């Protein structure tokens, strides 16, 4: 047996604040997002309740990872993870993740003036979102067809951004465009978007709202650009931050859909037997459960190491890839194991499966992250 | 015993490090077992017995056992250091695993003064090899239903029945034996008793079991009116189940007190990278194959996930949903993972995956092929993966029993 230096042991830990937020978020999300409310909000144009949003803002959750000097709590994304995980468990939906990520993008990419001007608002409940995707459907955030061109002292924008989540509720939109041949980030306000500039898209996860944003005709002052030299590192950070929070949401959802299915397996009878006693159902649901356990270990390792050079990226990409797989398997089997009921709109399994498809499609599927991991690990 | 200082520990570490560097045997010219369950030949047995004896004489196993029973009476920290240095030096395994890790700590824990005096030193020196007689041909997963009989006659017990999967049974001098003294007890557990039984008694016969690898390592043990002295009974009659469960705690590492030193060498996930770099598939380095690269990332990720899950099991806020879940899941996940990892190591060899143990044209002399076949010992032994899934389904998810 040949021996090479063994790789460093992967690590995981939990901060006191993480543990506290996990407890608080568990009861908050349970109270605010019972399944009948989730169902009711599917039909709601806005897709979330303003009162709930305000309460999250009052709890300080929008500033968890924003430094104190900008009005935040001054913790890190590691402490955002348990909150998003619990939102995932209860299928809760809101612009929480988008607003948190927008703050991260400004924190990493904004000028001093932009940080001072924008972060305190975001930390206290101003809704923001990100306009990153385009027709190319490239997960590479720097492959951009939308443009900004000089027009006097201003910038004229053109092109279409896709999958802009909760855009209709957002006061601020951070959009990526190509400017002078390089990726750039511009800050748009609600007022700058033209009448008819947002078209609601029909998306698979009905707990969310998503829009196509037409940039044509929008002009913004040059001061709306984030400093050029910050753009690439800020986008690299954003991809990982988004992957971490998606992994958290998926881990939560995957645990929840297994619980939902287990309840059914414990009560449904066929052939005079509770169907959960059949190994054909028991063993795969155990496999879904153990995959969730491992995915959750990856998630908390990614949270713990997020800021570490190298290790943070490896742990985060693994967390996203493994959460993609775990949630897809759990939710897919959940539909099947509910039998005929599973084929109906009324069965909640479809809510989870649709959400898992949405989450997997955002910021890289399993193959995408594994290709990146090949470079990092082999 | 006072707590050792950092300096004392550092000095001990340096000494142990130097000793293992100096004394770890070179390649003996034949294949050594990677686990204590794979000791198949006299040659392997003699080599490993001599090695354990040498390590014992140097004080690097049993260091934390009391002096009066052959140990060194040191703080456990010293033994832990010695074990780590032994592992780092990649030495051969400790042979007398069942003595060192199960029977020994059990006797230290629950044995009488006479039992401690009689057995412990011989365990450490590997003079007295131990085996375990728990499973029976008809009672594997259902251990509590063991039917081997022990009948008191005068100052002896007469044993009849059969035990299976007796690791090193053909080499052993003693067996920790679970046998039924009272078939009419109020329940199946209360009829069991625990013996420190001599294997060289008349009427005890061992028959080697040939494993799927073609090698040996286990026996079936037959008792035909075998007479063993009454003082080989450990504890009281009827306490057998309780003592057997305590033994399993040592076996599973849930309780400390083992003599120390590794008894198994498992494939390290990073070994798979070395293999992928060295091996060729269809004439090209395996590591350049896009499908192989994808699988490597998956297997390395999975190894991390298992290691992280073992760590997470000890972090209360992260297991509060169900604290039993990870402890009950890890045996299943780890054993299945190791099986697949070894299987993949064969795939990496392409055409040479067709070779087997000791073939000079083979890749790494076919050790991964053997590793794959042996990996089933963990997915079957100690409760099959299928039984494990029932256990998790029933005890963690609360599903109704299968049957």
Other Cβ atoms within 10 Å of A202 Cβ, number: 6
* Distance in angstroms between the alpha carbons of the first and the last residue of chain A: 19
Note the pLDDT of residue B395: 92
The distance of A12 to chain B (nearest Cα, Å) reads 7
Q: What is the dihedral of CA B383, B386, B392, B397, to 10 degrees?
A: -160
Element (H, E) at A261: helix A231-267
CB contact at 8 A, B227 and B201: yes
Interface check B397 vs A, CB under 8 A:
yes
Other Cβ atoms within 10 Å of A145 Cβ, number: 14
CB nearest A378 (choices: B296, B321, B393) = B296
Same fold, B6-128 and B269-395: no
Note the pLDDT of residue A128: 98
Q: What is the C-alpha separation between A206 and A354, in angstroms, rounded? A: 8
Q: Nearest chain B Cα to A284, which residue?
A: B389
Inform me whether the pLDDT recorded for A52 exceeds 60.
yes
CA A290, A292, A294, A297 dihedral sign is negative
CATH, domain B6-128, list 3.40.50.300, 3.90.550.10, 1.10.540.10, 3.90.220.20: 1.10.540.10
A374 vs B contacts (CB less than 8 Å): 293-294, 296-297
A155 CB-contact burial (10 Å; exposed 0-12 / middle 13-18 / buried 19+)? buried
Inform me whether the pLDDT recorded for B272 exceeds 50.
yes
A255 vs B contacts (CB less than 8 Å): 321
A55's CB contacts (< 8 A; 6+ apart) are A28, A32
Percent of chain A with pLDDT over 90: 97
Domain ranges of chain A: 16-127, 130-227, 232-377
The distance of B23 to chain A (nearest Cα, Å) reads 19
CB nearest B304 (choices: A19, A318, A378) = A318
Inform me whether the pLDDT recorded for A1 exceeds 50.
no
CB nearest A378 (choices: B287, B397, B403) = B287
**A vs B: CB pairs below 8 A:** 136
Which of B232, B261, B208, B342 shows the shortest CA–CA distance to B65?
A: B261
Contact A378 B332 (CB under 8 A): no
Report residue B183 as tokens: 């078939």
CA distances from B117 to A356, B107, B114, B155, B393 (A): 63, 10, 5, 21, 45
Quick one: DSSP state of residue B332?
Answer: H
Assign domain B269-395 to its CATH superfamily. Answer: Butyryl-CoA Dehydrogenase, subunit A, domain 3 (1.20.140.10)
Note the pLDDT of residue A7: 45
Least confident interval from A167-171, B339-343, B383-387 = B383-387
Inform me whether the pLDDT recorded for A72 exceeds 90.
yes
Q: Model confidence over B120-156: pLDDT tens digits?
A: 999 999 999 999 999 999 887 678 899 999 999 999 9
CB contact at 8 A, B348 and B279: yes
Quick one: DSSP state of residue B399?
Answer: P
A16-127: CATH topology is Butyryl-Coa Dehydrogenase, subunit A; domain 1 (1.10.540)
Contact B308 A287 (CB under 8 A): no
Residues 281-300 of B with CB under 8 A from A: 287, 293-294, 296-298, 300
A296 vs B contacts (CB less than 8 Å): 312, 318
Report residue B236 as tokens: 């009281």
Residue A108, CA atoms < 13 Å, CB-side half-sphere:
20
Interface check B27 vs A, CB under 8 A:
no
Which of B310, B262, B166 shows the shortest CA–CA distance to A294?
A: B310
Rg of chain B, C-alpha, whole Å: 22
Q: Model confidence over B179-234: pLDDT tens digits?
A: 999 999 999 999 999 999 999 999 999 999 999 999 898 999 999 999 999 999 99
Note the pLDDT of residue A10: 87
Question: Which residue shows structure tokens 């499973």?
Answer: B135
Note the pLDDT of residue A4: 33
Note the pLDDT of residue A233: 98
B131-251: CATH topology is Butyryl-CoA Dehydrogenase, subunit A; domain 2 (2.40.110)
Q: Nearest chain A Cα to B317, which residue?
A: A19
Interface check B234 vs A, CB under 8 A:
no
Other Cβ atoms within 10 Å of B50 Cβ, number: 14
Report residue A29 as tokens: 């999300």
Mean pLDDT, residues A58-65 taken together: 98
Inform me whether the pLDDT recorded for A3 exceeds 50.
no
Inform me whether the pLDDT recorded for A209 exceeds 60.
yes
Inform me whether the pLDDT recorded for A11 exceeds 60.
yes
For the structural domain made of A130-227, what CATH number should be given? 2.40.110.10
Q: Which residues pair with A157 in a beta bridge?
A: A148
* ipTM field: 0.93
Q: Model confidence over A263-287: pLDDT tens digits?
A: 999 999 999 999 999 999 999 999 9
B273 vs A contacts (CB less than 8 Å): 4, 378
Which of B270, B307, B262, B267 shows the shortest CA–CA distance to B84?
A: B262
Assign domain A232-377 to its CATH superfamily. Answer: Butyryl-CoA Dehydrogenase, subunit A, domain 3 (1.20.140.10)
* Distance in angstroms between the alpha carbons of the first and the last residue of chain B: 53
Note the pLDDT of residue B399: 97
Report residue A190 as tokens: 């609600």
Percent of chain B with pLDDT over 70: 99
Q: What is the C-alpha separation between B182 and B149, in angstroms, rounded? A: 8
Note the pLDDT of residue A324: 98
Q: What is the C-alpha separation between A5 and B21, in angstroms, rounded? A: 17
CB contact at 8 A, B130 and B171: no
Inform me whether the pLDDT recorded for A2 exceeds 50.
no
Report residue B39 as tokens: 């000791």
Element (H, E) at A258: helix A231-267
Note the pLDDT of residue A8: 55
Report residue A74 as tokens: 């001054």
CB nearest B399 (choices: A255, A277, A298) = A277
A300 vs B contacts (CB less than 8 Å): 308, 312, 318
Interface check B210 vs A, CB under 8 A:
no
A264 SS3 class:
helix
Inform me whether the pLDDT recorded for B386 exceeds 90.
yes
Element (H, E) at B224: strand B218-229
Least confident interval from A125-129, A172-176, B28-32 = B28-32
Q: What is the C-alpha separation between B285 and B279, in angstroms, rounded? A: 6
Contact A298 B318 (CB under 8 A): no
Inform me whether the pLDDT recorded for B33 exceeds 70.
yes
Please give the mean pLDDT across all residues of chain A: 96
B105 SS3 class:
helix
Q: Model confidence over B279-289: pLDDT tens digits?
A: 999 999 999 99
Give yes or no: B85 in active site: no
Q: Which residues pair with A179 in a beta bridge?
A: A148, A182
Catalytic residue among B136, B251, B359, B394: B251
Residues 346-385 of B with CB under 8 A from A: 364, 367
Domain ranges of chain B: 6-128, 131-251, 269-395
pTM (two decimals): 0.88
Q: What is the dihedral of CA A197, A202, A203, A206, to 10 degrees?
A: 110
Of the pLDDT bands very low, low, confident and very high (cuts 50, 70, 90), residue B251 is confident
Note the pLDDT of residue B255: 79
Interface check B274 vs A, CB under 8 A:
yes
> Any idea how long chain A is?
378
């Amino acid at each position: 047996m040949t021996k090479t230096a063994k790789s460093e042991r992967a690590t995981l830990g939990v901060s006191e604040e993480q543990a506290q937020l996990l407890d608080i978020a568990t009861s908050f999300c349970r109270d605010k997002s019972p399944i009948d409310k989730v169902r009711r909000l599917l039909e709601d144009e806005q897709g979330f309740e303003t009162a709930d949003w305000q309460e999250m803002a009052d709890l300080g959750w929008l500033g968890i990872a924003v430094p104190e000097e900008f009005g935040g709590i001054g913790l890190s994304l590691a402490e955002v993870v348990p909150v998003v995980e619990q939102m995932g468990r209860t299928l809760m939906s809101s612009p929480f993740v988008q607003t948190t990520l927008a703050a991260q993008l400004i924190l990493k990419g904004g000028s001093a003036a932009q940080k001072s001007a924008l972060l305190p608002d975001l930390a206290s409940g101003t809704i923001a979102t990100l306009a990153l995707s385009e027709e190319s459907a490239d997960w590479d955030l720097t492959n951009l067809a939308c443009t900004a061109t000089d027009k006097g002292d201003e910038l004229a924008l053109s092109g279409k951004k896709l999958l802009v989540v909760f855009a209709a509720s957002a006061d601020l939109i951070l959009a990526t465009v190509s400017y002078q041949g390089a990726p750039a980030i511009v800050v748009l306000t609600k007022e700058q978007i033209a009448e008819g500039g947002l078209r609601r898209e029909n998306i698979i996860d009905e707990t969310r709202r998503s829009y196509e944003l037409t940039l044509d005709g929008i002009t913004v002052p040059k001061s709306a650009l984030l400093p050029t030299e910050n753009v690439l590192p800020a986008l690299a950070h954003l991809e990982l931050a988004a992957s971490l929070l998606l992994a958290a949401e998926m881990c939560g959802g995957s645990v929840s859909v297994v619980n939902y299915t287990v309840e059914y397996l414990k009560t449904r009878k066929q052939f005079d037997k509770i169907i959960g006693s059949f190994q054909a159902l028991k063993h795969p649901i155990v496999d879904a459960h153990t995959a969730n356990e491992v995915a959750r270990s990856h998630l908390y390792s990614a949270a713990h190491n997020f800021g570490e050079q190298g290790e943070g990226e490896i742990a985060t990409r693994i967390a996203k890839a493994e959460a993609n797989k775990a949630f897809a398997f759990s939710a897919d089997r959940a539909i099947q194991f509910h039998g005929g009921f599973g084929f109906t709109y009324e069965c909640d399994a479809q809510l989870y499966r649709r959400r898992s498809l949405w989450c997997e499609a955002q910021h890289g599927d399993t193959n995408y992250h594994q290709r990146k991991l090949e470079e990092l690990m082999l | 015993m006072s707590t050792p200082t950092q300096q004392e520990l550092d000095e001990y570490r340096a000494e142990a490090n130097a000793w293992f560097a100096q004394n770890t045997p070179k390649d003996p010219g034949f294949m050594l077992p990677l686990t204590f369950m794979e000791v198949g030949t006299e040659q392997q047995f003699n080599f490993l017995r001599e090695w354990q004896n040498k390590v014992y004489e140097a004080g690097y196993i049993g260091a934390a056992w009391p002096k009066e029973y052959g140990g060194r009476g040191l703080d456990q920290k010293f033994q832990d250091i010695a074990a780590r240095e032994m592992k780092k030096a990649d030495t051969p395994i400790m042979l007398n695993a069942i003595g060192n890790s199960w029977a020994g700590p059990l006797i230290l824990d629950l044995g009488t003064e006479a039992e401690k005096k009689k057995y412990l030193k011989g365990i450490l020196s590997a003079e007295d090899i131990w085996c375990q007689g728990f499973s029976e041909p008809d009672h594997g997963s259902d251990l509590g239903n063991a039917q081997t009989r022990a009948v008191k006659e005068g100052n002896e017990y007469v044993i009849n029945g059969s035990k299976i999967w007796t690791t090193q049974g053909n080499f052993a001098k003693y067996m920790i034996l679970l046998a039924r003294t009272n078939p009419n007890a109020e329940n199946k557990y209360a009829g069991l008793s625990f013996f420190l039984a001599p294997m060289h008694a008349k009427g005890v016969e061992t028959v080697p079991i040939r494993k799927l690898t073609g090698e040996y390592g286990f026996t079936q043990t037959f008792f035909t009116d075998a007479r063993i002295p009454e003082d080989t009974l450990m504890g009281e009659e009827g306490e057998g189940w309780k003592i057997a469960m305590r033994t399993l705690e040592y076996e599973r590492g849930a309780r400390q007190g083992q003599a120390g030193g590794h008894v198994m060498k498992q494939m390290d996930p990073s070994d798979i990278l070395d293999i992928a770099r060295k091996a060729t598939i269809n004439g090209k380095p395996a590591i350049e194959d896009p499908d192989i690269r994808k699988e490597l990332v998956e297997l390395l990720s999975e190894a991390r996930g298992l290691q992280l899950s073992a760590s997470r099991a000890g972090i209360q806020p992260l297991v509060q949903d169900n604290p039993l879940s990870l402890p009950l899941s890890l045996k299943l996940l780890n054993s299945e993972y190791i099986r697949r990892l070894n299987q993949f190591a064969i795939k990496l060899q392409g055409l040479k995956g067709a070779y087997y143990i000791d073939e000079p044209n083979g890749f790494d002399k076919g050790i991964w092929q053997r590793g794959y076949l042996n990996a089933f010992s963990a997915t079957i032994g100690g409760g099959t993966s299928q039984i494990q899934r029932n256990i998790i389904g029933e005890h963690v998810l609360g599903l109704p029993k299968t049957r």
